[in-house]
Amino acid sequence: MMALMRMTLTIDPDVAQLLRREIRCSDRSMKAVVNDALRAGLGIRGKRPPTSRFKVKPHGFGFRPGIDIHRLNQLADELEAEEWGAG
């Protein structure tokens, strides 16, 4: 993953006006508008930095025999209904 870099830029008044207009019209953040404009100006529009591939790591929950893990939502609903009925 790429590290973020914080910078201070001095922007010409005409560019600042265009930047404010784009922020207002697109309802995006200044960061997003500036990054997209820089990418377009540098010839890399639409190309995002490579990201690492998402990996799912399985976890053994160790449920006791006889517990149907496919009915846990139903059990949660029943417990919640009991709680509401007791109140």
pLDDT at 51 over 80: no
- What DSSP character marks residue 54? P
Looking at per-residue pLDDT, the higher value among 74 and 46 belongs to: 74
State residue 62's pLDDT score.
81
State residue 64's pLDDT score.
80
Q: Parse the chain into domains and list their residue ranges.
A: 11-51
State residue 28's pLDDT score.
92
Looking at per-residue pLDDT, the higher value among 67 and 30 belongs to: 30
pLDDT digits (tens, 9 = 90+) for 18-34: 999 999 999 999 999 99
In 6-38, which positions are buried (b, 16+ CB within 10 angstroms) versus exposed (e)?
Answer: eeeeeeeeeeeeeeeebbeeeeeeeeebbeeee
Q: Of 33, 25, 45, 28, nearest to 9 (Cα)?
A: 33
- Count the helix, strand and coil residues of the chain and give each as a percent rounded to the nearest 5: 50, 0, 50
Q: What is the pTM of this model?
A: 0.47
